[in-house]
Structure 1
Amino acid sequence: MKNLRITLKIASSLDGRIALSDGTSQWITSSDSRARGHRMRAENDAIMVGVGTVLADDPLLTARTVPLPARQPVRIVADSQGRMPLSSRLVQSADLGRVVAVTSREGSDTLAGAGVDVWRCGNGVRMDIREFVRRAEAEGLRTLLIEGGSTLAASFIRAGLVDEIAWFRAPILIGGEGLPALGALGLSDLKSATRWRPVATERIGDDVLDTYVRSEQ
């Protein structure tokens, strides 16, 4: 039985796009929504993104609330092939709080030497998500906030491991050329689609935050 509660946070346009076709995403949602996102970070034990997000946006992933939290969440990167640059803000800020790279192969000595914890969870090709969850639980983590990107989000949805979705929507339309919030789920029919039950809707300025939990049916 899984003890790690996983929340998927998505910030998108009305039509479910998280960036323009060239990857531009700053800023789709408002500053108030981003502040709410920082509070969500502070409320979770760990934050996770894929290495593609690190390469595209170079995020810091700290919880920048007022006041700052007593302890920063663990910052985790799904990085199967060890591509996270040593020059990234995550690696350079390892002294601000724990940074973890989840790889699927041996190596990543350079990341370890830079102060990054390296967890090997996989068969050398891609990260084994269930093995990662077991490792996170063994490390004492109880709540995880996944922030992107679309491939990582889809992989956790496909594995049936997401407990809650927090979806921020901004009142803009980007169109079909924009990058989707979710990658491929591999559905062959609608009966295979996971169902979600809406539990809260909140206006944040002009944005809307919808919260869903996995339906039992």
Structure 2
Amino acid sequence: MTTDAPASRAAHVTLKLATSLDGRIATASGESRWITGPQAREAVHRLRAEHDAVVIGVETALADDPELTVRLEGYAGPHPARVVLDSRQRLPAHSKLAATARVTPTYVVSSAPPQPGLVEKGVRVLEVRRMDNLDAVVAALAEQGQKRLFVEGGGRVAASFLRAGLVERLEWFRAPMVIGGEGRAAVADLALAALAAAPRFRRLDVRSVGDDLWERYERI
């Protein structure tokens, strides 16, 4: 399916970050499990359950082979769809996401025609002409009924949604540790020329979840 969908705010985008105190999501070697504790991870699963789809980049899919389901004791509700931003469709057909695509809806957003190996697994490929046009990506997902998006991707995905001005809510979990400048940043370069151009948010709540802090923000 190819779309030239116009810019759309029909979808609501929440960005989730789980970091050290200095905003790192992994060490320089890529070690990231687990920065935050079990209570914070449980809160993330509850947030997933409130959204239509969980969004990650293909690098996260390749590195972690995640399931992106709601794993809560006694939970019997629906699972969000899984969305992978994957311009060249590098998601392996044997990945957990592809292997369970007929059980839980799984989308790959790509700028290339659908790959038969993924389609045969039940993965729904949404073809967009420009992956850097996130308005079009969000609009294409909204057309599929995925209107409440929970972005859990890496630093580049987070930066892309922030640069596009699409992040309405920010759910930030901070662990009481410091990784240092060589660690991997939660948000990649935003290419800001001035502070006035920085995305700004209003804090809604701060609470403790185990040893971690959960900060909640909305866009100003």
TM-score range, shorter chain: over 0.9
**Amino acid aligned to 1:38:** H
**Amino acid aligned to 1:139:** Q
- Give the TM-score of the pair, scaled to structure 1: 0.95
Q: CA deviation at 1:134?
A: 1.1
- 1:47-58 equivalences in 2 (<5 Å): 47-58=54-65
C-alpha deviations, 1:26-81, integer Å up to 9, x for none? Answer: 00000111011111111111101000001111111001122224211000000011
**Amino acid aligned to 1:190:** L
Does residue 180 (structure 1) correspond to residue 185 (structure 2)? The answer is yes
Residue 32 of structure 1: aligned partner: 39
**Amino acid aligned to 2:209:** I
Does residue 120 (structure 1) correspond to residue 127 (structure 2)? The answer is yes
Conserved in 2, the CA contact under 8 Å of 1:76 and 1:102? Answer: yes
Query: Residues of 1 paired with 2:10 and 2:213: CA distance?
Result: 29
Q: CA deviation at 1:130?
A: 1.1
1:156 to 157, 161, 174: 161
Query: Residues of 2 paired with 1:133 and 1:110: CA distance?
Result: 25
Q: Percent identity?
A: 41
Secondary structure class of the residue paired with 1:113: helix
1:91 to 92, 98, 101: 98
**Amino acid aligned to 2:48:** R
- 1:69-88 equivalences in 2 (<5 Å): 69-88=76-95
**Unpaired segments ≥5 residues, structure 2:** 1-7
Q: CA deviation at 1:128?
A: 2.8
Conserved in 2, the CA contact under 8 Å of 1:58 and 1:89? Answer: yes
Question: Which 4+ residue blocks in structure 1 deviate beyond 3 angstroms?
Answer: none
Secondary structure class of the residue paired with 1:82: coil
Residue 5 of structure 2: aligned partner: none
1:133 to 122, 130, 138: 138
The total of aligned residue pairs comes to 213
RMSD: 1.2
**Unpaired segments ≥5 residues, structure 1:** none
Conserved in 2, the CA contact under 8 Å of 1:121 and 1:129? Answer: no
Q: CA deviation at 1:127?
A: 4.6
C-alpha deviations, 1:142-187, integer Å up to 9, x for none? Answer: 2110001111111010000000100000000100110000011111
- Give the TM-score of the pair, scaled to structure 2: 0.93
**Amino acid aligned to 1:143:** R
**Amino acid aligned to 1:10:** L
Residue 9 of structure 2: aligned partner: 2
